[in-house]
Chains A and B, each alone.
Chain A
Amino acid sequence: MTGKSGTSKPTAKGVSGPTSVMLSALRALVDAHSMLLVLIVLGVLLQIACIVITGEGRFLSLQNLSIVLEQTSINAVLASGMTFVILTGGIDLSVGSILAAAAVVGLLVSTTSGVLAVLLALTCGLAFGLINGALVAYVQLPPFIVTLGTLTAARGVARLMSHDITVFNAKLPFAFIGSDNLVLIPGLVSVSWLVVIAFLVIVGSWLILRRTVLGVYIYTVGGNPSAARLAGIKVGAVLLFAYGVSGVLAGLGGVMQAARLYAANGLQLGQSYELDAIAAVILGGTSFVGGIGSIWGTLYGALIIAVLSNGLILLGVSDVWQYIIKGVVIIGAVALDRYRLRGSVRS
């Protein structure tokens, strides 16, 4: 176009200027961390309930909160891996079973060497993850079906390796992970290794998702796979990576679980852990269709689940009711989120 309209300036219309940019940045911050608010409200409510019912505010005590963090750790690790997969638009149903298989491997090898045991457990998780990834990426099977298959198969492998009995090792070389603390300030501040590991996993995931090219590609593949391909992104490799991460983190979860128990049972370990992991991701606001979400949301989601379980136990609510309340809170929190976001997202 060589006409005069070619010189028009970009400021022609639309809102702009520093105020609106700041407002939208603030809004983005609130959006990304809205579940933190839910978490805080939930914590305060549970504390009040504790005071009213039991007469003392045990919930918000330092001791109890560190227990909550410890109880969150394994689910947070699994949910981090799940976040990668769900961001690509997939799902990984197999993490609970992979956790069991990896824990069994860890315990079986633990009699020889602790380092080797941990490494092989992680490798076991990675192997299952890569199988999932390869089937999704290159054979192009639906993730739900592939990982449903692995859920069953990995459980079988776990039982096979343990000869369908519980494997014990009272002198588990990596047991410190489950029982010891990392001392930050001697005599004052120390944190459970489980929490440290979960924290490192979260930070690592955040770095990959937000600070690396691969992270952008993960969001791209989840947001629009065919656009990703046309833009020259190796979609298959990205998917393989996401499922690989989920597998390796499930393996790590297996190590953590084994370290707590000094034992692994192929049949029972990690049963339905995948559901808690998925719930954490969804509570964290990550879109089920892929492409939208954050690792912080997942952390909040995992914390909400742990806080709820812990608080209800403190209140003496029966196991049966805990299930019901947890289910309702998960649906309610997500519904609230959708309601709040309605109309503000793209039309």
Chain B
Amino acid sequence: MSLQPKNPPVLEMRHISKTFGGTHALNDVAFTAYAGEIHALMGENGAGKSTLMKVLAGAFTPDPGGEIIIAGQPIKITNPMQARRAGVSVIYQELALALNLSVAENIHLGRELTRGPWIDRRRMDADCRDVLEKLGANFAPQTVTSRLSMAERQIVEIARAIHADARILVMDEPTTALSSRETERLFELVAQLKSAGLAIVYISHRMGEVYQLADRVSVLRDGGYVGTLSGAEVDPEKIVYMMVGRDLSSFYKRAPVAGAHLETVLEVADLSDGRRVNGASLTVRKGELLGLAGLVGAGRSELARLIYGAETPASGRIVLDGKAVSFRSPKEAIRHGVVYLTEDRKGDGLLLDMSVGDNINLQVFGNDSIWGMWLDRKRADQRAANAISAFAIRVAGKAVPVGALSGGNQQKVLLSRLLETKPKVLILDEPTRGVDIGAKAEIYRIIDELVHAGVAVLVISSELPEVVGICDRVAVMREGRIVGEVGGESGQTISEENIMALAVGVNLKGRLQ
């Protein structure tokens, strides 16, 4: 690809360093972006991507010696306002919208239009209708933002950037909360913005996306700049190698349990909640890793929460070890050996201010207690120490609050909490979301060990390569029901195409419905 235009880059960052206390978050990093290119920025969690972008956005001030040049002009960015004026817009992973305000108000946030002392809503609405239309949004500027889906909120963020005449648009993990269809829509949009001449910095963990979108890929590792690949050099394996400094070609490979009896542990029949789950049936078997695939909104998490007793089913049966059960609360499910790893570990998984040790022990404090009441600190400390070493949780000590850990280590803490209860059935909802590659590999290793130890595991995942790579059998969900299976006895091989065909309901090779 001949994408190194003669014209100078719109953004040049040179010798950027940033130290917090004694640690180098960034160490002499360089980064350039040209107008009309998509430049992916990759690296493990903690590699410095976000810090670099926060320096660009004015949230952090770099150490002396660093230079930022935008459109040929060296500039000092010391606060977010200056960055915005220089044409830098950042869309963070946790979108920064005021959900109680309307779309138009959000787009104009900080630059409201007024008539005299009054806010001029009519002009604001009209003003951004244009932008929204250009982006193909099908909601009105007056819509209250909280009523929009994640994908739509993202469009509002993009609209805000365009409306502010951004030249450099940074997108941090923009597809994390999107379904496949929404992701495709977003990619079209990004391509459209690119051809309109924006420089797009795209931060993502997802190799597939980067491979599909990026003109160039820069990789950071441990706060240092590793290198940049452009055009034909962009190659997933090479990028992974640059990110982790080691070869991960056997990344997803795991051996199925040899000669497994495959006795059914959990059977779900015709489960409905009257809203998102609509007669779903599946079986999970001992020593088997069952995947549950489907588009976001297909009802996968809802189904899991029904099984776990977090929500009450309207109808249907759950059979555990041959006996019909109905869990009225998660407490009952846990007592029967069914546990659930939430997809939202910060929102309804971890206690961020609580210590790593207490988080690990939370679900077994009760059983370990002395006379059913007093905490057994000695035992809790032991459990914590064991879990920290068994799961390779990187933390200075068990007393550290869990909020101070990286995403991958947080996930390992949450997972180890569930495993302390010695479950028979483990439901994992997006177990590797927002987790860096190293931690991902460790989580796969843990899952694999559990399957081999005879635990029935159900993994919900939106990452198809992951599903294809680790599952023994995959059930596919669409519109609240299980529409088919691949792998196992289904006769169909587990492939991204087969799963996708079921998930979207297209007729592939004339065989599927």
Which residues of A come within 8 Å of B, CB atoms? Answer: 1-6, 8-10, 12-16, 20-21, 24-25, 28, 211-216, 219-220, 223-224, 226-227, 229-234, 291-292, 345-347
Complex CA distance for A20 and B21, rounded to whole angstroms: 14
Determine if B189 is an interface residue (Cβ-Cβ < 8 Å): no
Chain A residues whose CB sits within 8 angstroms of the CB of B395 once the complex forms = 14
Is B310 touching A230 in the complex (CB atoms < 8 A)? yes
27 example contacts (A-B, Cβ-Cβ < 8 A) are as follows: A1-B444, A2-B250, A3-B248, A3-B253, A5-B441, A6-B441, A8-B442, A10-B392, A12-B392, A21-B397, A24-B397, A25-B399, A211-B374, A212-B373, A213-B374, A213-B375, A215-B375, A216-B358, A216-B365, A216-B375, A223-B354, A227-B349, A230-B308, A230-B330, A230-B340, A232-B330, A345-B353
- The total number of A-B Cβ pairs within 8 Å is 138
8 Å CB contact of A5 from B244, B340, B342: B244
Nearest opposing residue in chain B for A16, CB measure:
B396
> B445 contacts A9, CB within 8 Å?
no
B401 within 8 A of A: yes
Interface residues of B in 327-351 (CB under 8 A from A): 329-331, 333-335, 340, 342, 347-351
| B319: Cβ under 8 A from any A Cβ | no
Contact A229 B310 (CB under 8 A): yes
B400 at the interface (CB under 8 A from A): yes
Enumerate chain A residues within 8 angstroms of B400, measured Cβ to Cβ. Answer: 24
Is B119 on the interface with A (CB-CB < 8 A)? no
The answer to whether B351 and A291 have CB atoms under 8 Å apart is: yes
Contacts of B349 in A (CB 8 A): 227, 230
Cβ of B366 under 8 Å from chain A: yes
A86 → B minimal CB distance (Å) = 14
Verify B365–A213 contact, CB threshold 8 A. yes
Q: A213-B366, A224-B350, A229-B310 are in contact. Are A16 and B397 (CB under 8 A)?
A: yes
What is the size category of the interface that chain B forms with chain A? 35 or more
Determine the distance from Cα of A15 to Cα of B375 in the docked complex, in whole angstroms. 29
In whole angstroms, how far apart are the Cα atoms of A347 and B440 in the complex? 23
User: Of all chain A residues, which has the CB nearest B394?
Assistant: A14
Q: Is B330 touching A20 in the complex (CB atoms < 8 A)?
A: no
Chain B contacts for A25, CB-based, 8 A = 399
Q: Give A140 Cβ to nearest chain B Cβ, in Å.
A: 16
A24 to B353, CA, bound (A): 15
Q: Is the CB of B362 within 8 A of A1?
A: no
Chain B interfacial positions (CB closer than 8 Å to A): 244, 246, 248, 250-251, 253-255, 308, 310, 329-331, 333-335, 340, 342, 347-354, 358, 362-363, 365-366, 369, 372-375, 388-389, 392-397, 399-401, 403-404, 417, 438, 440-445, 448
CA distance A14 to B334 in the complex (A): 34
CB pair B375 A21 closer than 8 Å: no
- Bound: A2/B254 CA distance, A: 6
A346 CA / B442 CA spacing, docked (Å): 25
A6 to B445, CA, bound (A): 7
Ranked nearest first, the 8 interchain pairs of A and B with the lowest CB-CB distance are A346-B403, A226-B348, A232-B331, A1-B445, A1-B441, A1-B444, A223-B351, A232-B334
The one of A2, A212, A231, A345 in contact with B448, judged by C-beta atoms closer than 8 angstroms, is: A2
Residues of A within 8 A of B399 (CB): 21, 24-25, 28
Structural contact, A292 and B353, CB atoms closer than 8 A: yes
Chain B residues near A211 (CB-CB < 8 A): 374-375
Q: Using Cβ atoms and an 8 Å threshold, which residues of chain B touch A346?
A: 352-353, 401, 403-404
- Nearest CB in chain B: distance from A5 CB, A: 5
| Residue numbers in B under 8 Å from A227 (CB-CB) | 342, 347-351
Q: How far is the CA of A31 from the CA of B334 in the complex (A)?
A: 36
Write the nearest CB–CB distance from A113 to chain B, whole angstroms. 32
Asked if B251 and A1 make an inter-chain contact with CB atoms under 8 angstroms apart, the answer reads yes
Known contacts being A21-B397, A232-B330, is A219 close to B251, with CB within 8 Å? no
Q: In the bound complex, what is the Cα–Cα distance between A291 and B46 (angstroms)?
A: 27
Contacts of B443 in A (CB 8 A): 1
Are B254 and A232 within 8 A (Cβ)? no
Partner of B396, one of A20, A220, A234: A20
Known A-B contacts A14-B394, A219-B354, A223-B351; A234 and B366 likewise in contact (beta carbons under 8 Å): no
**9 more CB-based (< 8 A) A-B contacts, given A216-B358, A230-B349:** A5-B246, A9-B392, A10-B388, A24-B400, A213-B369, A216-B362, A231-B330, A291-B351, A346-B401
Question: For residue A1, which residues in chain B have a CB less than 8 angstroms away from its CB?
Answer: 251, 254, 440-445, 448
Known contacts A2-B448, A5-B246; A223 and B353 CB within 8 A of each other: yes
A214 to B371, alpha carbons, bound, how many Å?
13
Give Cα distance in the complex from A345 to B401, angstroms. Answer: 9
B residues in contact with A212, CB < 8 Å: 369, 373-375
Closest to A346 in B: B403
Q: How far is the CB of B223 from the nearest CB of chain A, in Å? A: 11
Min Cβ gap A323→B in Å is 34
Instruction: Select the residue from A2, A28, A229 with max chain B CB neighbours within 10 A.
Output: A2
In the assembly, what is the distance between CA of A1 and CA of B354, in Å? 30
Q: Is the CB–CB distance between A10 and B353 below 8 Å?
A: no
Given contacts A25-B399, A346-B404, contact A3 B354 (CB under 8 A): no
